Amino acid sequence: MKATLVLCLMKVISRLPLGVARYFGRLMGAGMAVLGAKPFKVTQCNLAVCYPDQDPSNNHRLANKRMRHLGQAFFETPVLWRRSSPWLQSHIIAVEGESHLKEAIANDRGTVLLIPHLGNWEVIGLWVAAQTKMTSLFQPPKMPAFGEWIKRSREKTGANLVPTNVSGVAALLKALKRGETVAILPDQQPPKTSGDFAPLFGAQALTMTLTHNLLKRSDSQAIFCCALREKGGWRLHFVPADQAIYSDNQADSLASMNASIESIVAKAPEQYQWEYKRFRAQPDGSPAIYNSGV
Give a yes or no: residue 65 inside a domain: no
Give a yes or no: residue 204 inside a domain: yes
pLDDT value of residue 185 = 97
Is a pLDDT exceeding 80 seen at residue 49? yes
Instruction: Write down the pTM of the prediction.
Output: 0.95
Judge contact between 256 and 264, C-beta under 8 A: no
pLDDT value of residue 293 = 76
Number of structural domains the chain divides into? 1
> Over the stretch 186-200, which tens digit does the pLDDT of each residue have?
999 999 999 999 999
Give a yes or no: residue 135 inside a domain: yes
> Over the stretch 154-174, which tens digit does the pLDDT of each residue have?
999 999 999 999 999 999 999
Give a yes or no: residue 161 inside a domain: yes
Q: What is the arithmetic mean of pLDDT over 265-276?
A: 98
SS3 state at 78: helix
Give a yes or no: residue 205 inside a domain: yes
Mean pLDDT, the chain, rounded, equals 96
Judge contact between 120 and 77, C-beta under 8 A: yes
Is a pLDDT exceeding 90 seen at residue 4? no
Distance, in Å, from the CA atom of 207 to the CA atom of 205, rounded to the nearest integer, reads 6
Give a yes or no: residue 16 inside a domain: no
> Over the stretch 87-112, which tens digit does the pLDDT of each residue have?
999 999 999 999 999 999 999 999 99
184: domain range? 85-271
Give a yes or no: residue 4 inside a domain: no
> Over the stretch 249-263, which tens digit does the pLDDT of each residue have?
999 999 999 999 999
| Interacting residues of 266 by C-beta distance below 8 A, sequence separation 6+ | none
Is a pLDDT exceeding 90 seen at residue 213? yes
What is the separation, in whole angstroms, between the first and last Cα of the chain? 29
Is a pLDDT exceeding 90 seen at residue 146? no
Give a yes or no: residue 294 inside a domain: no
Reported confidence tier of residue 39, pLDDT bands at 50, 70, 90: very high
Reported confidence tier of residue 16, pLDDT bands at 50, 70, 90: very high
